[in-house]
Chain A
Amino acid sequence: MKMLEINNLHVDVDGKRILNGLNLTIEAGSVHAIMGPNGSGKSTLANVLAGKPGYEIVDGEIFFDGDLLNDAEPEQRAQQGLFLAFQYPVEIPGVSNMEFLKASLDNLHAARGDSQPNAVEFMKSVRSIAADLDLNPEFLKRGVNEGFSGGEKKRNEILQLLLLQPRLAVLDETDSGLDIDALQVVAEGVNRYRSENNAILMITHYQRLLNHIVPDVVHVLAEGEIVKSGGRELAQQLEARGYAWLTE
């Protein structure tokens, strides 16, 4: 079943064309990796999927579970099950992580017409996920990302992923800034999320992430469009040869 379908997507940022006729289809149960040189439009793709202001779709369509997403508000997309793990998660001082997670879950439940999560169960599951990610329970009381190290911020994104259980997870350079041990923990978290019912779109610079989270499909993005797609081995080729041979 097609979960995400992107047709001929053209996107401008500050009047400059960044995505230039991108096509991509993702099925439920699959993991796709997007690689590509700096400035090829990888993060733009992640942001435009999530509906970040300032990213203008000038042509093309994005369908998510059959619904046209082009003009949907970011929170509507989230409520439909689209999740973005941020490359640079921002801080919200004074709003505790726990409070933020509760607000998020409550709103997602409300939007789907589900009953509100039980507060005790909620606390339990948050604590258990935090423990799996080697996060000290104290960190749940701190402000959202406030004073977190780079690694803690990334693990916090994965905590949200595991708690909110979206349909589609877009991971924007989740591996950047992580040491080997942290990368392992994050990858284990993502693998735990992985299932037949959901899908993952990983954006990364490095093949090393793909050793831990093994993709079904690898795409190469260059100058705003996908120039090559293949299996896992494509990533290894890129590691050995770089990107130049694909764009020549």
Chain B
Amino acid sequence: MAVEDLVPTEYSAGFVTDVESETLPPGLDESVIRFISAKKAEPEWLTDWRLEAFAKWREMPAPLWAHVRFPEIDFNAISYYSAPKSAADGPGSLEEVDPELLRTYEKLGIPLHEQEILAGVVKERPDVAVDAVFDSVSIATTFREKLAEAGVVFCPISEAVHSHPELVQKYLGSVVPQRDNFYASLNSAVFSDGSFVYIPPGVRCPMELSTYFRINEQNTGQFERTLIIADKGSYVSYLEGCTAPMRDENQLHAAVVELVAMEDAQIKYSTVQNWYPGDKDGKGGIYNFVTKRGACIGDRSKISWTQVETGSAITWKYPSVVLRGAESVGEFYSVALTNNYQQADTGTKMIHIGPNTRSTIISKGISAGRSENSYRGLVRTSPTAHGARNYTQCDSLLIGDTCGAHTFPYIENRNISSTIEHEASTSKVSEDQLFLCQQRGIDTEKAVSMIVNGFCKDVFRELPMEFAVEAGKLLEVSLEGAVG
């Protein structure tokens, strides 16, 4: 099969799954929070924690500093809980999952057939354990037994609250506190599900872990919460994917991801984000207002974020690392592509606290159509961060002349022994480059995708192999029609 045949010609994940759901009516008050908490049979401390977050959120103004425009969100017009009826009792074994839901993930190319993979029947994506989150609930988590043999815990966070209460209580909100920001506080109040990962000391997680988020129900928001804890000397590579149906209304996705890396632990977190971006006139699409942060609390720990962003009508997200442990390392590799009327304000924060901490930021922004693409990054060294080093490279590529690329770097240096480097460039896909490709028999769409892939190479190289292929294909699809 030729590669072209594998590439869908439009947003292929835009279908709706017809399942009967239990959905809360729109609106947000304490009773909604109590309902969600009761639904998960949560302990009292967590209900209180949510209510506390809600009280704080009500006092906060929505942030307006990002370089994005959208009408004010009516938080009472959103439903905060929706779950397929068949999944009401929580995830059981794969055989118990509604076949309609399984088919949904099959259509999206997400392997949930653990049996076949284990038996070696399905070879295309081996060694990936998947937690599938559908609207507000996790419907299946694969390979749990195999992971358990290694001592790895990989389960829905709603389940971890019961099975590992001490870890959840200790680390939930330890990286992103309840009052951190407007959307994180909202998430803390209403989060419904998400993934929980714990890697015990000295364990190298035997397979890639992955969570696949799917929004299906209309007028609902998705508020998932992910918590990954890597104990001393452990390693985990985690992948995240997201899609949603094509709808004319905007839908809110306000997630929180917290990563904790102890001494000598490493967490590699990769995202290929393909939320519905809206149509070519800017109608519909997901508002992706997400808080992702990792804490390198142990010495010599390392957290690495790699993201490929092609989706969302609006992206507002800054995967960050707090470098507390001595000699800890933070990395951020990002490709953000905007086309048509998409808007992205994305980047990172590297907070250097421990001595000899290091961070690297490589950001590639691609703007096409009438989109606006902003990089916003903070590098801060505190007085304790002796010998801290940061290297930032921030490149923008423009396709056409109706889009925008913006860079907002913030550098706060409070330590005289630190070294901070910032490089930035802006370039344009030139007509001469396109003509050279065409003259060699390559049509303009392929040429643009080849040029863009070349531009993103430094980031793609950081992605796990199969994700890199997927990311390349996704860029190709997302760029369709970018050249008139």
Contact = CB atoms under 8 A, between A and B. Distances in A.
A75 B441 contact: yes
Contacts of A108: 440-441
Interface string A86-110: 1001111111100110011001101
Interface in B152-175: none
Given A90-B432, A90-B433, A95 B440 contact: no
A53 interface: yes
A52 interface: yes
Interface residues of A, number: 33
B10 interface: no
B450 A74 contact: no
A78 B427 CA distance: 27
A92 B435 contact: no
Contact of B454 (A93, A107, A110): A93
Contacts of B2: 110
A209 B134 CA distance: 69
Contacts of A180: none
Nearest to A143: B454
Interface string A156-176: 000010001000000000000
B9 interface: no
Given A94-B454, A94-B455, A107-B446, A100 B440 contact: yes
B436 to A, nearest CB: 5
A100 B439 contact: no
B442 interface: yes
B442 to A, nearest CB: 5
B287 to A, nearest CB: 32
Nearest to B452: A94
A74 B446 CA distance: 14
A78 B450 CA distance: 18
Nearest to A144: B436
Contacts of B455: 93-94
A48 interface: no
A95 B454 contact: yes
Interface in A192-219: none
A74 B435 contact: yes
A103 B435 contact: no
B219 to A, nearest CB: 42
Given A93-B455, A95-B454, A104 B442 contact: yes
B57 to A, nearest CB: 43
A126 to B, nearest CB: 14
B436 A75 contact: no
Interface of B: 2, 427, 430-433, 435-444, 446, 450-451, 453-457
What are the 6 tightest A-B residue pairs by CB atom distance, in nearest-first order? A94-B454, A95-B454, A74-B438, A104-B440, A78-B441, A107-B441
16 contacts: A50-B439, A52-B435, A53-B431, A75-B438, A75-B443, A78-B438, A86-B436, A90-B430, A90-B432, A92-B433, A94-B453, A94-B454, A103-B440, A103-B442, A103-B450, A104-B442
